[in-house]
Structure 1
Amino acid sequence: MKPRHGLATPRAWLLPGRPAEPAPVTDAGQRRAIVVELVIVFTITLGMSGLRSLLSLLDALLRPESLDQQAVAINTSRAQLGLLDLAEQLAGVLRLFGWAALGLYLLWRGGVALRSVGFDGTAPGRDLARGAGLAALIGIPGLGLYLAAHALGLNLAVQPSTLDESWWRAPVLVLSALGNAAAEEVLVVGYLLTRLRQLGTTENRALWISAVLRGSYHLYQGVGGFVGNVVMGLVYGRVWQRTNRIHALVVGHALIDVVAFVGYALLRERVGWLP
């Protein structure tokens, strides 16, 4: 049997009862509407984050200090008063979940069954196991790549959290990790790859578009951050293309971020090998 878009789909990757993919859109008006929708969604979400990350990297490159002598923080304090800071952090988390909900809503509103992108609870145990495996597959080499890129002067020192110690720091960092995972995996994988399938884009081309977009909004970290996230995008995107399961990707991404955010907050003043 000829594989879809020239790609084989190994049976080992498929879940029983794999959800059916949405049919390609042939109507010219509907195709234009999808393209406009993609432009609008990513202009107000992760595409804009990519542009701002590029500008941030250019600013860092133009500074007299080399990249490895500069630092960038991810989770930072946003208000002087503790409770206001907590409210600001939660508002940021809510925005991330809102982005994920937007992608799912637009798919559903466009007639795409959410089960077809893997948004269901039919295989929680398998999703958790796959997510843990993906976290280990990406997280451990990713840390090595980051340390190597920083040592070579290609990356800024990334500080996952600079929040002061407080009773709400750990829960907020966990929520932030979950929000990042939901927003990125739903929008950049489930939503984007589904829309590209509807437009008839080949699986390989769609995979690279998704992966490069993922890398773009990590450019603020430097070359290592971009390359590492492109690789993550290629792996996560391919897993989704062959399983149509989004929950495993969210679990894997969230585990990576929880370890990075909470682990850094606990270890940053206790170990000397972290930049």
Structure 2
Amino acid sequence: METTVRRRHEVLLVLGLSLGQSAVYSVVSLIAKLTKDQELSSQQATLNPSQAPGRPWLDLSLQLLGILFALVPVGMAYHLLGRDPGRPRLVLGLDRRRPLLDLGGGAALAAVIGLPGLGLYLLARELGLNATVVPAALGEVWWAVPVLILAALENALLEEIIVVGYLMTRLRQLAWSPVAVIAASALLRGSYHLYQGFGAFVGNAVMGVIFALVFLRTRRVGPLIVAHTLLDVVAFVGYAILRDVLPFLR
């Protein structure tokens, strides 16, 4: 009983310091957008904005610090899992035993999700259910692409280790059913994307179900981290390079 209570408190603390907190802010952000005297589709949700416009070295420092400290909850979750019997790398599959599954499976997963995800975003924006997402707004700086790649990797590590690996492991230990665990992970993933709109919530929740099923089948977060990184790299870097060429991106 004491272990169960401790694990419940632990989950609440980890989420409160990471993506649970993001979900709350995201809900408030969506409410703010919906209560503006402006259609949701004509508003913007900016990812990776400049932190110090006109001061590139300061901006670079702030970007790298933001990425570094965003990964602290990942280390905490990994550490907490490591206090259980066994090793967290075995629980999460963070090893080099199955590189083809991690790399090949991740790439295939990204391909399966990528195009339908873009189509859903464009449809939701046309229907007025989503803000216009600006994936990168770092300006014309030499370090933009490397920082965007690092940001993509940070997002992947943060979300897949905490929302899938850590959360699903803990909820199963708390005797939640597989269906409830998948639903909780997927709904949390959708919730912290609500600041972008309803289309982002639906798209990410569906992605969350797929990723949760893959984790339950493989017991590895590697393919999910690879897939998520590839999706975000394409979105962030692709937007930065092609935004002036492809009108639908603007």
TM-score between both structures, scaled by the size of structure 1: 0.88
What is the root-mean-square deviation of aligned Cα atoms in Å? 0.9
Aligned to 1:44: 17
Aligned to 1:18: none
CA shift at 1:34, angstroms?
Answer: 0.2
Aligned to 2:106: 131
Query: What is the total number of aligned residue pairs between the two structures?
Result: 248
Q: Is the 8 A contact 1:207 1:238 kept in 2?
A: yes
Q: Does 1:262 align with 2:216?
A: no
SS at match of 1:119: coil
Aligned to 2:161: 186
* Residue 218 (structure 2) aligned to one of 240, 243, 249: 243
Tell me, in whole angstroms, the C-alpha distance in 2 between the residues paired with 1:141 and 1:261: 17
Q: Is the 8 A contact 1:86 1:168 kept in 2?
A: yes
Aligned to 1:87: 61
Cα distance 1:193–1:112, how it changes in 2: closer, same or farther (>3 A)? Answer: farther
| The structure with more radius of gyration | 1
The correspondence of residues 50-199 of structure 1 with structure 2, limited to 5 A, is 50-80=23-53, 81-114=55-88, 115-199=90-174
SS at match of 2:247: coil
Tell me, in whole angstroms, the C-alpha distance in 1 between the residues paired with 2:188 and 2:225: 17
Q: Which runs of 5+ in 2 are unaligned?
A: none
CA shift at 1:99, angstroms?
Answer: 2.2
Tell me, in whole angstroms, the C-alpha distance in 2 between the residues paired with 1:105 and 1:233: 24
Tell me, in whole angstroms, the C-alpha distance in 2 between the residues paired with 1:159 and 1:135: 20
CA shift at 1:125, angstroms?
Answer: 2.0
CA shift at 1:271, angstroms?
Answer: 1.5
Tell me, in whole angstroms, the C-alpha distance in 2 between the residues paired with 1:233 and 1:95: 24
Tell me, in whole angstroms, the C-alpha distance in 1 between the residues paired with 2:86 and 2:120: 38
Letter of the 1:225 partner, please give it. A
SS at match of 2:66: helix
Q: Is the 8 A contact 2:17 2:73 kept in 1?
A: no
Output one character per residue of 1:37-61: Cα deviation in whole Å (capped at 9) or x when no partner: 0011111100000000000000000
Output one character per residue of 1:6-63: Cα deviation in whole Å (capped at 9) or x when no partner: xxxxxxxxxxxxxxxxxxxxxx000000000001111110000000000000000000
Tell me, in whole angstroms, the C-alpha distance in 2 between the residues paired with 1:211 and 1:164: 33
Tell me, in whole angstroms, the C-alpha distance in 2 between the residues paired with 1:202 and 1:171: 41
Aligned to 1:29: 2
Output one character per residue of 1:120-168: Cα deviation in whole Å (capped at 9) or x when no partner: 1111122100000110111110000000000000000000001112111
Letter of the 1:241 partner, please give it. L
Aligned to 1:10: none
Output one character per residue of 1:160-186: Cα deviation in whole Å (capped at 9) or x when no partner: 001112111000000000000000000
Tell me, in whole angstroms, the C-alpha distance in 1 between the residues paired with 2:141 and 2:225: 27
SS at match of 1:110: coil
Identity, in percent, stands at: 46
Q: Which runs of 5+ in 1 are unaligned?
A: 1-27
Tell me, in whole angstroms, the C-alpha distance in 2 between the residues paired with 1:227 and 1:252: 18
Tell me, in whole angstroms, the C-alpha distance in 2 between the residues paired with 1:95 and 1:121: 26
Tell me, in whole angstroms, the C-alpha distance in 2 between the residues paired with 1:273 and 1:95: 34
Letter of the 1:189 partner, please give it. V
Q: Is the 8 A contact 2:103 2:226 kept in 1?
A: yes
Letter of the 1:179 partner, please give it. E
Tell me, in whole angstroms, the C-alpha distance in 1 between the residues paired with 2:72 and 2:104: 26
Tell me, in whole angstroms, the C-alpha distance in 1 between the residues paired with 2:41 and 2:182: 31
Letter of the 2:144 partner, please give it. R
TM-score between both structures, scaled by the size of structure 2: 0.97
Letter of the 2:227 partner, please give it. G
